[in-house]
Amino acid sequence: MASMGVLRALIGEASVKRIMRVALALSVFAGAMSACSSGGPRIQQSPVAATSPATTASMPSPSPSATAEGPAVTQAEAARVVHTILQADDTARASGAEFYALGETRDAQALITATAFQSTDLTPPRYTWGRPTLLVPRLDRFPYWFAAVVERHDASGKSRTAVLAFMKQYESSRWQLSFASLLYPGTKPPAVSLDLQGYATPLATRDDTIAISPHLMAPLHATIAEEGPGGFAADLIAAGPQTTGYFTEVKKVQPEFKWRGFLYDSLFAATAFPIYALRTTGGGALILYSLTRTTLRQAKAKVAEGLVPVPKDVRWAVDSPVVRLKLRVIETQQYVSDVARKGAAEPAKIIGFDGAPTGVSSE
């Protein structure tokens, strides 16, 4: 059997990634079926997980003793954290203080925050926030984290429901905003299972009591985004704008680029950022996770003098409407999904999305 290096040389890195995703999807699909019968220049490129999905499993398993001894993070502390960080973020945005804004964030949210400042010449959009609904899990070890659902209002008065996750990595760490996404308009999050004191039940990233284990949600999402309704993940994740919609978009754009003498491709991947999962009342899970989308636009030799057009939303990163030969854009995306209990017939649903271009390079 050919080695991995030889395989990459023969068919290319992108094809190897797709083959590995298909193998992963087949494995999960087989498990699901068994259950039914008896988961640029100015900014840093976002990190991508290794090929093994195990690298995304950053949350520890909850300890049974946490319920008996009381929560490590109280509702009152969580409320203070939300208020303090959102207030500090607005102050930093009002003054164009990117450094201070980044100090309040981490993980994927730090990359997206950097883009908000750098793409607007340090005048990022500002928001006001409603009263948060806190989803605080019982944990007894670091990292500590909790989620919040809150209405976000922009300068025009438009409102969107945001889902946030805050983390404190170690005893000596500060609380920071790790994740922020937006529910689709008109969508409500699933009810989270709460105990008598109002605390939520966290799920380990490798929990197997739900249809898709939290650590598999991102790689399966990447699979359906690339393979579409005919792919192996199609029966596991529902069709939508950020799933099969990506596949349709790429297939529509590729012929147009080819006719103009350009190559176009878009690849999706899980990241090494934390995954957050909470038990829902139906026995499933609310899962928060991140993906990267890498879009490549490349000019063929001697076509249009090798000039590749730059989309308007990333021209701030290259200061030009065109670049020579190749443009690579990496978008960091944050998703909210509603996953059913193990053995349920319905597929997982993507119910929230937000993202921004966080890495731009050219040749």
The pLDDT score that the predictor gives to residue 307 is: 85
- CA atoms of 143 and 162, how far apart (whole Å): 22
Buried b (16+ CB within 10 A) or exposed e, 69-90: eebbbeeebbbebbeebbebbe
Phi/psi at 104 (nearest 5 deg)?
-90, -5
How many CB atoms lie under 10 A from the CB of residue 178? Answer: 26
Q: Is residue 313 part of a domain?
A: yes
Q: Is residue 6 part of a domain?
A: no
The pLDDT score that the predictor gives to residue 50 is: 32
The pLDDT score that the predictor gives to residue 257 is: 84
- Classify 88 as helix, strand or coil: helix
Closest CA to 144 of 204, 73, 66, 229: 73
Cα–Cα distance list, 227 to 120, 312, 343, 352, 361 (Å):
34, 27, 24, 21, 26
Domain range spanning residue 212?
11-362
- CA atoms of 363 and 236, how far apart (whole Å): 38
The pLDDT score that the predictor gives to residue 28 is: 42
| Mean pLDDT in order along the chain per 10 residues (363 residues) | 40 47 44 38 36 37 48 95 98 98 98 98 98 96 97 96 98 97 97 97 97 98 96 95 97 87 93 98 97 93 73 93 92 98 96 97 84
Q: Is residue 132 part of a domain?
A: yes
The pLDDT score that the predictor gives to residue 10 is: 37
Report the interhelical angle of 244-259 vs 214-227 (nearest 10°): 40
Number of independent structural domains in the chain: 1
